[in-house]
Amino acid sequence: MTDPTGPRDARDKLALLLSLIPYLMDHESVPVSDAAAAFDVTPKQIRDAVHLIAVSGLPGESRAYLPGDLFDIDWDELEEHDRIALTHTVAIDDTPRLSAREAAALIAGLQYLSSLPEHADRDAMASLMAKLERGTATGAAQVAVAPAALRDTVATVRAAIERGTQLEFDYVSARGASERRVVDPLRIESVNDDWYLRGWCHLRGAVRTFRLDRIDRLVSSGEPISGHGAGVVLPERLFQGSEEDLTVSVDVSAAALPLIADYIPDDADRVREGDTVHTKVRVAHYHGLKRMVARFAGQVTVTAPPDARAAVAEWARAGAARYERYERETS
C-alpha cells in the first residue's frame, strides 16, 4: 500500500482527478472519508481534489469559463456534513457510448457463453453485462439466452453427443401431446433464447428438431446411436420445410428480419417499404406462428391468410382476457 500522507506529483494528482469524477458520478452523495478510503489518500487530499474539480471544465461558445461550463458541487453538503455531491458535470457525459443494439449484441454473446456448462465464472460475466447495460446511451435492448434451468439438460445432451449414445425423454409437442422418444442426438443449437436438439427420432424414423424446454425426464440410455443416426448429414438450416407446412404472409420490421430468416422460404419475396419488409414465413402450425408473434411483439404482423390472422387475434384476445381477470382478482 502506498503512503497516503506522502508527497504526490502532478501525475498522481491527475490520476486521482480522472478517477474521482466517475466515482462521484456513480455515488449521489459520498462522505469524504469513504472517498479517501476508496482511493487510499487522506481526506485533505480528497477535499483539495474536489476544489480543483470545481474550477475545471470546458469553455463555452464565448470561449470563456461561465458557470455552466464548469463542474459544480453541493458546497453546503461539503462544508456542513463533509460529504461530496456533484450538482453539475461537463464534457464527461459527452463521451461516445454503445448504442442499445450494440450493447444488446454483446450481452447476447455473453449470455450465450455463460449458459454453456464449461464456463463456470458466470459472476464475472454477469458483472460485465451489468456494466454494458449501464454504459449504453439509452439502455440495452432486453435479451436472454439459455435459462439456468436448461443447463443440466444442455450438459446431458452435450455429453451424449460426445459419447455417441442415445437419449430417451418425454417430449411435449406444440399441441400439448406428450410422447416418449428415443433419439440419436446429433447436434445442439440455439436460436435467440430457445435451445434445440437435432437428432434421429426412432419413433418417427426421421430427423427431428426438439425444443429443450419441452423435454422432460431426460436420461442417457448408454446405448450407441443407430446406423440411421450415424449416417445422417444435417443441413445447415435449423428449420427445414415440408409439404405440410403453412405459408403465412407477414410484415416485419427490417431490424427483426434476420431473426426470422430461418422461417422465410428461399423463394419468398422480400419487399421493403420504409422500415417494414413484406414477406412470407413457413410454419408447421399456427401454434408456432403465435410463438413467433409473441417473441417479436410489435415487430411482426400477420397479414394473410385470414385464418392465420384470426388464430393470432384470438390467441391475443385470450391472453388479454386472462390478464384482465388476474388484475381483477389481485386488485
- pLDDT of res. 307: 92
pLDDT of residue 137: 47
Q: Is residue 90 domain-shared with residue 109, that is, in the same domain?
A: no
The residue segments making up the domain with residue 198 are 149-230
Q: Note the pLDDT of residue 140.
A: 46
For residue 277, the surrounding DSSP H or E stretch is strand 276-283
Q: Both 263 and 305 in a single domain?
A: yes
117, 160: one domain: no
- Residue 106: CB atoms within 10 A of its CB come to 18
Domain count, the chain: 4
Last residue of a domain, one of 55, 78, 94: 94
Is residue 222, in this structure, part of any structural domain at all? yes
Q: Are residues 286 and 305 in the same domain?
A: yes
> What's the pLDDT tens digit per position in 27-62?
778 899 998 888 888 999 888 888 887 777 666 666
Rounded-to-integer distance, Cα 62 and Cα 259, Å: 50
Answer yes or no: do 25 and 83 share one domain. yes
Query: Per the domain annotation, does 49 fall within a domain?
Result: yes
Q: Which of 230, 264, 290 is the last residue of a domain?
A: 230
Distance from C-alpha of 310 to C-alpha of 92, rounded to nearest angstrom: 52
Residue ranges in the chain whose pLDDT is less than 50:
1-2, 6-7, 95, 117-118, 120, 137-146
End-to-end CA distance of the chain: 57
238 occurs within a structural domain? no
Supply the pLDDT for residue 17.
75
Give 297-319 pLDDT, tens digit per residue: 888 999 999 999 998 999 888 88
pLDDT computed for residue 144 by the predictor: 45
pLDDT of 134: 62
Phi-psi sector, 66: left (phi>0), alpha (psi -120 to 50), beta: beta
Helix (H) or strand (E) holding 251: strand 246-253
Here the CATH number for the domain that contains residue 198 is 2.30.30
Q: Among the three residues 173, 197, 230, which one is the final residue of a domain in this structure? A: 230
